[in-house]
Amino acid sequence: MRGLIGACLLMVSTIAFGQGNNCDCQQIVGTCAVSVSVIPTESTKGSYGADLKLTSSAPICSKVDYYVDGTPYFTILSQGNRGEDRVFGQKPITRANLSSISCQICKQAGTPADNPGRTASPDQPSQKIDLSGTWNSVQTCSFGTGTSTITITQTNPGDASISGRLANATIDSGRIEGDTVTIQASNWLGNQVQMEGRVVGPGRISGTYTQTASAGVRQWSATKT
C-alpha cells in the first residue's frame, strides 16, 4: 500500500496544476451532469494510460466519480467546470471502459456556511479534545490508496503541531488551530504537497490535498490509534 501512495505523491503529469483548494467535498450541495472524453496515451510494458477530459454543468467544485474496468476513481474540478485526469490499466483504455459515472457539487469554500461567526453544529469537535498521539493516515489518488503514520503534539487546547511522513514525502510543517488542519510536505524530487482538513471527531480528521507533481484534488483522512 505504501508503494501506491508513493506513486500518488511522485506522479509527474503534463496537466496544469490547479492552485488552491476551493472545495469542501465533505459537504455535498447538489448534483451535476458531466461529459467525459478519453484520449489514449502511450503504453509501456503492458501498462496503458489515458487522459480524461471532463466538463461539468456546474461552474466549479464538481466531484466526478467513475470506474475504469471496475477500479474506482474520482476527480474534483476545483478551478472551474473543466478538468483532466490520467488513469492507467493493463489493457488499452477507451470510453467503453468507463462506467458508473456520477457528478456531485461540493460546497465552495468561502460561502456563508464557512464564515467564522457560524453557529457550531452539535457534532463540531471541542477544542478541549486531546489530539496528542499517533495517527494512521490514509491518502487516496487515482492509483489507489496508501497509508502513513503522523504524530500530533498538542500544546494547548485548540493548538497542536503535526510531524511525520507521507510515504516518501516528509512533513515540513503541520498545524491544528481549533478544528482546522494544515500540512505542508515535500520530498527530495521537489514535489510540494498541501493538505487541508478538519478535526471531525475525537479521533478522526478528514480533508483534501493537492501537489505540484500532478493535477487534481485528492482526499485524505487520519484516525487516532
> Using CA atoms, how far apart are residues 50 and 40, in angstroms rounded to an integer?
4
What value does the mean pLDDT take over residues 1-10? 40
187, amino acid identity: N
Residue with grid cell 471532463, as numbered in its chain? 54
Point out the least confidently predicted range of 47-56, 143-152, 181-190: 143-152
pTM for the whole thing?
A: 0.49
Q: What's the confidence (pLDDT) of residue 128? A: 61
pLDDT in tens, 54-97: 999 888 888 888 888 888 888 888 888 888 888 777 788 888 88
- DSSP strand pairing (98-108 vs 71-77): unpaired
Whether residue 13 contacts residue 215, with contact meaning beta carbons closer than 8 Å, is answered with: yes
Instruction: Return the CATH number of the domain spanning residue range 23-107.
Output: 2.60.40
| DSSP tally for the chain: helices H, then strands E | 1, 15
The reported pLDDT for the residue numbered 152 is 92
Asked whether the predicted pLDDT for residue 1 surpasses 60, the reply is: no
- Does residue 167 have a pLDDT over 50? yes
Confidence band, pLDDT 50/70/90 cuts, at residue 112:
low
Topology (CATH) of 133-224? Lipocalin (2.40.128)
Would 23-107 and 133-224 be classified into the same CATH topology? no
* pLDDT of 49 over the 60 cut: yes
Q: What is the C-alpha to C-alpha distance for residues 40 and 56, in angstroms, rounded to an integer?
A: 21
Q: Where are the domains of the chain?
A: 23-107, 133-224
Question: Which range, 42-51, 123-132, 145-154, has the best average confidence (pLDDT)?
Answer: 145-154
The pLDDT mean for the chain works out to 76
Mean pLDDT of 29-56: 83
Can you give the pLDDT at residue 21? Answer: 58
**Phi, psi (5° rounding) for residue 3?**
-65, -35
Residue 141 pLDDT class (50, 70, 90 cuts): low
